[in-house]
């Protein structure tokens, strides 16, 4: 098998891209693809500080390595969950993280938070004590990890939290949410989850790369990682979906990739629609209780515009959500009009600037006669 670029020995065959690459070209390609995803979804810029959640696995360590190679200010965060289950899972994971820092990026900063030291009990003990997740540790584990990541990001002044979720993870979750028709989760599923009050922005720079590509990158770069999966994740539904999707990918290369990419496109209108649903209704503001003028809309999103006479309520959660709302000057239609005006203005200005530049740069040839229209307009001929 030969590299599609240089003809050398290829180490990976990516059927979905019809691309076979040698070790050197594959590393280049992987880094470029990650950068492209970061830019496409406007995840962060080089001036931002990024906190990379590392678990000692291939995805998170590969992600941290790529971000440091690209020159981003990426610091690692390892959360010690205290999971042993006979294989010293947490202890070995931390060991691989330290080994990565020492062997690949000695100047990199790794923050380590131990759950048992922080909360008095490790994850398995916390899971046994709570009803959350019906005895399974994963629900408690996810909650604790999210809490710690947000706290460290807030205290450390990080702009974003980057996780090593790859395309396989994204498609499996998409399939699960679609089968159960969990509209709220579907609307939120995206490579970027914007920051909210107290919660940092979450980004997934490997969301467009397959798991096998991340594994290949780690192997080619000589990154040692923990091969065992978390003992509590064995036999999970997500893993079952991943197996099904792998079979689909074997039959139809690129099916998973196009599924998530198309969902990102289709997801936008869904998110817009859901944001309108959440707005629920505009109710007239009581004069005494609100600073707004009496009779003005008080939707939960807060447009503050006046309603039409005799229509104190402009409900957005019916089919009217897809048409113009009843407010005389609602925020949504106002924004739409402003956007259209702005687009038209930009288009007009761009055309005017293009014409002006073309006229300025125009140089009639020396052979051009004096009666040529361009001479008459005062353009200078080419200097020889």
The residue ranges that bind Zn ion (CB under 5 A) are 3, 5-6, 8, 22, 25
Residue 319 CA to its chain's centroid (Å): 30
Side-chain half-sphere exposure of 167, counting CA atoms within 13 A: 26
Q: Is the distance from CB of 218 to CB of 100 less than 8 angstroms?
A: no
Q: How far is the CB of 12 from Zn ion (least distance, A)?
A: 11
Quote the CA–CA distance of 11 and 49 in Å, as a whole number: 34
SS3 content of the chain, % helix, strand, coil (to 5): 50, 10, 40
Quote the CA–CA distance of 110 and 55 in Å, as a whole number: 11
Of 3 and 52, the one with the shorter C-beta distance to Zn ion is 3
Q: How far is the CB of 3 from Zn ion (least distance, A)?
A: 3
Of 1 and 45, the one with the shorter C-beta distance to Zn ion is 1
Q: How far is the CB of 244 from Zn ion (least distance, A)?
A: 33
Of 220 and 327, the one with the shorter C-beta distance to Zn ion is 220
Of 6 and 320, the one with the shorter C-beta distance to Zn ion is 6
Q: How far is the CB of 4 from Zn ion (least distance, A)?
A: 7
Quote the CA–CA distance of 68 and 75 in Å, as a whole number: 9
Q: How far is the CB of 123 from Zn ion (least distance, A)?
A: 44
Of 22 and 153, the one with the shorter C-beta distance to Zn ion is 22
Q: How far is the CB of 215 from Zn ion (least distance, A)?
A: 19
Q: How far is the CB of 63 from Zn ion (least distance, A)?
A: 23
Ramachandran assignment for 228, one of left (phi > 0), alpha (psi -120 to 50 degrees), beta (any other): beta
Q: How far is the CB of 28 from Zn ion (least distance, A)?
A: 9
Name the burial class of residue 185, with classes exposed (0-12), middle (13-18) and buried (19+) by CB atoms within 10 angstroms of its CB: middle
Of 8 and 103, the one with the shorter C-beta distance to Zn ion is 8
The pairing of beta strand 314-315 with beta strand 281-282: antiparallel
The neighbouring-strand residues paired with 76 are 52, 110
Of 5 and 375, the one with the shorter C-beta distance to Zn ion is 5
Quote the CA–CA distance of 67 and 50 in Å, as a whole number: 9
- For the chain, count helices (H), then strands (E): 13, 10
Of 11 and 226, the one with the shorter C-beta distance to Zn ion is 11
Pick from 51, 62, 13: nearest CA to 220: 62
φ, ψ dihedrals at 317, nearest 5° = -95, 15
């Amino acid at each position: 098998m030969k590299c599609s670029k240089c003809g050398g020995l290829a180490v990976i065959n990516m059927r979905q891209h019809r691309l076979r690459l040698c070790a050197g070209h594959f590393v280049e390609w992987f880094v470029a693809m990650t950068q492209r995803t970061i830019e496409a979804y406007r995840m962060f810029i080089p001036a931002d500080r990024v906190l990379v959640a590392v678990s000692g696995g291939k995805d998170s360590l590969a992600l941290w390595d790529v971000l440091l190679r690209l020159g981003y200010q990426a610091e690692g965060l390892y959360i010690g969950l205290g999971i042993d289950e006979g294989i010293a899972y947490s202890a070995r994971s931390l060991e691989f993280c330290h080994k990565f820092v020492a062997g690949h990026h000695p100047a990199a900063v790794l923050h380590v938070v131990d759950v048992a030291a922080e909360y008095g009990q490790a994850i398995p003990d916390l899971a046994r004590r709570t009803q959350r997740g019906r005895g399974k540790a994963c629900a408690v584990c996810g909650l604790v990890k999210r809490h710690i990541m947000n706290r460290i990001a807030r205290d450390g002044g990080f702009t974003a939290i980057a996780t090593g979720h790859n395309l396989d993870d994204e498609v499996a979750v998409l399939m699960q949410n679609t089968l159960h028709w969990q509209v709220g989760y579907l609307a939120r599923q995206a490579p970027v989850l914007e920051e909210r009050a107290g919660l940092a922005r979450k980004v997934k720079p490997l969301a467009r790369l397959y798991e096998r590509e991340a594994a290949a990158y780690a192997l080619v770069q000589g990154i040692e990682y923990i091969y065992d999966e978390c003992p509590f994740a064995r036999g999970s539904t997500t893993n079952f979906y991943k197996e099904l999707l792998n079979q689909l990918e074997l039959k139809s290369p690129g099916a998973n990739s196009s599924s998530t990419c198309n969902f990102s496109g289709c997801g936008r209108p869904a998110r817009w629609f859901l944001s309108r649903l959440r707005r629920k209704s505009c109710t007239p503001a009581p004069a005494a209780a609100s600073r707004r003028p009496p009779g003005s809309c008080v939707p939960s999103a807060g447009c503050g515009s006046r309603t039409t006479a005799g229509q104190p309520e402009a409900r957005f959660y019916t089919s009217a959500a897809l048409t113009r709302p009843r407010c005389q000057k609602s925020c949504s239609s106002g924004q739409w009009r402003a956007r259209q005006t702005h687009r038209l203005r930009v288009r007009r200005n761009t055309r005017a600037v293009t014409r002006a530049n073309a006229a300025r740069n125009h140089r009639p040839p020396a052979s051009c006669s004096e009666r040529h229209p361009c001479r008459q307009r005062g353009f200078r001929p080419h200097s020889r």
